Structure 1
Amino acid sequence: MECDKCGDHAVLHAAYSGLHLCEDHLCRTVEKRLRRRVREDGLVPDDATPEDPDTWVIGLSGGKDSVVLTSILHDVFERDPRIELVALSIHEGIEGYRDKSLEACEELTEDLGIRHEVVSYAEEFDVRMDDVVEKDPEGMAACAYCGVFRRDVLSRYAEELGADKLLTGHNLDDEAETALMNFFEGDVEQMAQHFDASLGPFETGSDGDAPTERTREKQEHHVPRAKPLRDVPEKEIALYARFRDLPAHITECPHAEEAYRGEVQQLMLGLEENHPGTRHSIMAGYEKLAALAADAYGGDDADAEFGECDSCGAPTARDLCRKCNLLDALEAV
C-alpha cells in the first residue's frame, strides 16, 4: 500500500477521505488541521502583542491527546512572541497511574522549555480519587466525581495563571460522542453552553481574519476553552505521538467507567466503520445546531443564572457548586 501523496509506504488508510498516507504525510495532516482550527476559531486575537501576549494554559495530562496538542502548539508558536504557553497538570491521586503520566508531562515540558505547573486533589480538596472510589457516597462512576473536581481545578488555576484561553486535547471521537450524548438526552441548553464554552469561534479571527459564522458569547464566569485537535480522529493522534516519539503515557485510567459514554462510543465506532465520515458529519451538523441553541439560550440570559457558591465562591447557578456538594458528601461518609 503506497502513500497517495508521495508513493512511500503508507501507514494509514483514512477511510473517511479515501487517502493512504505515509508516516510523514499523516503527521503533516494532523499539524495542518490543528493550525486550521486555530485560524478558523480565531484563537490568536488581533490585539495580542509581544508586550501583552495571549496566555494559553494547556491541560496536560500526559496522555496522547494533550501531549500531541502541547508539542504541535509549541512548534507552531515557539517563535511567535504574541502567544505564551503554560502547561497545567493535575494529580488526582490514583495509585500506579498518575505518577507515570506526570513523568511524561515533565519530560515533555522540559524538552520543549514550557512552564509546567502541577496541582493535586490532595492539596486542593484533601481527597484522593482512590479514596473517593472506595467511599462513593453518591453511587456514581468514578469519572463523574473526577470530572467535577478536574473542571474546578482547571478553571481556577487557569485564572490564577492569567490565562486568556484554556486549551484541552479533546479529539474528534471525544467531541462526536459528546454531541451524540447531548442530542440523545435532548439537552438543548447544554448544546448552547457547549458552543459558547468551547466550540464557537472567537469574535475576532487570527491575523485580522474575522470568522463569518456566529461567534461565541463572551463568558465572564469562566476562562474560555478551546479544542484545537477536535477535527482529528483519535487513532491519528495516537499514531502521531508514536511517529514523533513523544513521551505519551498511553494507559487507561484504572477507575475509568462511563457506561453511557461507552455505549455511545461503540455505536459511533460501528457507524464510522460502516459509513466512513460519520464522525465528521455528526460534528458538522452538531456545531450548526449548537450555534442555533446558543442564539436561543446563550448570551446575557445564561450569564444571569450564575452567582457564587456559598462555600467556595466558584461560579454556579446553585447555592452550593457541584464540587462542594460532592466534598460534603464525601466528608459525611
Structure 2
Amino acid sequence: MECDKCGRDAVMHAGYSGAHLCEEHFRASVEKRVRRRIRRDGLVPQDASPGDPERWVIGLSGGKDSVVLAQILDETFGRDPRIELVALTIHEGIEGYRDESVDACVELAAELDLRHELVSYEEEFGVRMDDVVEDDPEGMAPCAYCGVFRRDLLETYAAEFDADILLTGHNLDDEAQTALMNVLEGDVKQMAKHFDASLGPFDERTDDAGFVPRAKPLRDVPEKEVALYAQLRELPAHITECPHASEAFRGEIQELLLKLEENHPGTRHSIVSGYEELASMAADRYRGESTPEMEACDRCGSQTTGDVCRKCRLLESLAAT
C-alpha cells in the first residue's frame, strides 16, 4: 500500500477513515489529533505568565499510552513558558511488571529532562498489590482495589504539586469501553459526571469540589495507533498486561467493540461522540439537584461524601486480615 499523501510505503491503514499513511504522515496525524483535542478542551492557558506558568501533571505509568502522551506534550509545550510539565509515576507493588515500567518512566523522563516524581502504595499505604491480591478481604477483582488506590494518589499528589490539570493517557478504546459500559449498566448519573458544561469533557471532578481537573488528550486516538506510534518512535514503553488484570466486564466490552470496529469501521468514534452528547444532556438534567456534600475523611482528610473514604475503608479491611 502507498501513502495517500506522498506515495511512499504506508505503515498503517485506518479503516474508519480509509486513509493509508506512511510513517511520517502517520506520526503527524497522531500528533495533530492530540493537539486538536487539547485546543478543543481549552487546556492551553490564555492568561498564564512566563513567571507563573500553569502546572500540568502527567500520570506516567510507563505503558504505551502515557509514554506517547508525555512525548507529545513535551514536544508541544516543553519549552512553552506558560506551562510546566511534571510526570507522576505510581508503583503499585507488582513484582517484575511495575519495576520494568518504572524503568521506562525513568528513562523517558531523563531523555525529556522532565521533572519526575515516584510514589508507591507501600510507602503511602503500607500495602503492595501482590499482597492485596493474595489477601482480598472484600472478594473483589484486583483492579477494584488498585483503581481506588491509584486514583487517590493521583489526586493527592496532583493537589500537593499545586497542579492546574492532571492529564492521563486514556485512548479512544478506553473511552468507548467506558461509555458502552455506562450505557449498558443504565448509569445515567455516571454519564452526567463525565461532563461539565463549564469545562467541556474533563473528568467529572473539578477544582470547585477540591479536586484537580483531569483531561485525556489521547481520547481521539485508537489504542493500536498509540502502540504503533510508540513503536515507530522507539519510545521506552513497557507494553505488557498487568498480571493481576481481571476486569471481566470491561474485557467482554473490549472484545465486542473490536469485533464491531472490524465489521463496522468508525464504531468507536461514533460511540464516544454520541456518548459526549448524551453526557451533556444528562449533566443538564442533574445539574442543580442536591448532591451529598464533600467532607474531609475522618482518617486521611481526603474529600469524600461519607465519614470515611473508600480508600481508607479498603485499607482497614486489609489490615484486619
Query: What range is the shorter-chain TM-score in?
Result: over 0.9
Distance in 2 of aligned mates of 1:99 and 1:138: 27
Whether the 8 Å contact between 1:192 and 1:294 is mirrored in structure 2 is: yes
Aligned pairs for 1:85-164 within 5 A: 85-164=85-164
CA-CA distance at 1:297 after TM superposition? 2.3
- 2:200 paired residue number: 200
Letter paired with 2:104:
A
Letter paired with 1:60:
L
Whether the 8 Å contact between 2:69 and 2:217 is mirrored in structure 1 is: yes
Letter paired with 1:266:
E
The SS at the match of 2:21 is: strand
Q: How many residues align?
A: 320
Q: Does 1:18 align with 2:7?
A: no
Letter paired with 2:81:
P
Distance in 1 of aligned mates of 2:222 and 2:157: 29
Deviates more, 1:310-319 or 1:141-150: 310-319
- Where does structure 1 lack aligned partners over 5 or more consecutive residues? 203-214
Q: Does 1:172 align with 2:161?
A: no
Distance in 2 of aligned mates of 1:97 and 1:195: 34
Q: Of residues 298, 309, 316 in structure 2, which corresponds to 1:321?
A: 309
The SS at the match of 2:119 is: strand
Deviates more, 1:69-78 or 1:289-298: 289-298
Letter paired with 2:214:
R
Q: How big is each residue's C-alpha offset from its partner over 1:193-230, in whole Å with a ceiling of 9 and x where there is no partner? A: 1223998257xxxxxxxxxxxx9976322100000000
The SS at the match of 2:17 is: coil
Distance in 1 of aligned mates of 2:16 and 2:198: 25
- 1:307 paired residue number: 295
Q: TM-score normalized by structure 2?
A: 0.96
Q: Does 1:243 align with 2:236?
A: no
Distance in 2 of aligned mates of 1:221 and 1:250: 34
1:239–1:262: structure 2 CA closer, same or farther, 3 Å change rule? Answer: same
1:76–1:296: structure 2 CA closer, same or farther, 3 Å change rule? Answer: same
CA-CA distance at 1:296 after TM superposition? 2.2
1:299–1:220: structure 2 CA closer, same or farther, 3 Å change rule? Answer: farther
Aligned pairs for 1:207-226 within 5 A: 219-226=208-215
1:140–1:201: structure 2 CA closer, same or farther, 3 Å change rule? Answer: closer
- 1:289 paired residue number: 278
- 1:38 paired residue number: 38
Q: How big is each residue's C-alpha offset from its partner over 1:46-77, in whole Å with a ceiling of 9 and x where there is no partner? A: 22111111110000000000000000000001
Distance in 2 of aligned mates of 1:250 and 1:64: 6
1:71–1:235: structure 2 CA closer, same or farther, 3 Å change rule? Answer: same
- 1:205 paired residue number: none
- 1:184 paired residue number: 184
Whether the 8 Å contact between 2:45 and 2:82 is mirrored in structure 1 is: no
The SS at the match of 1:186 is: coil
- 1:79 paired residue number: 79
- 1:275 paired residue number: 264
Deviates more, 1:114-123 or 1:216-225: 216-225
Letter paired with 1:296:
R
1:226–1:301: structure 2 CA closer, same or farther, 3 Å change rule? Answer: farther
- Where does structure 2 lack aligned partners over 5 or more consecutive residues? none
- 2:319 paired residue number: 331
Q: TM-score normalized by structure 1?
A: 0.93
1:85–1:299: structure 2 CA closer, same or farther, 3 Å change rule? Answer: farther
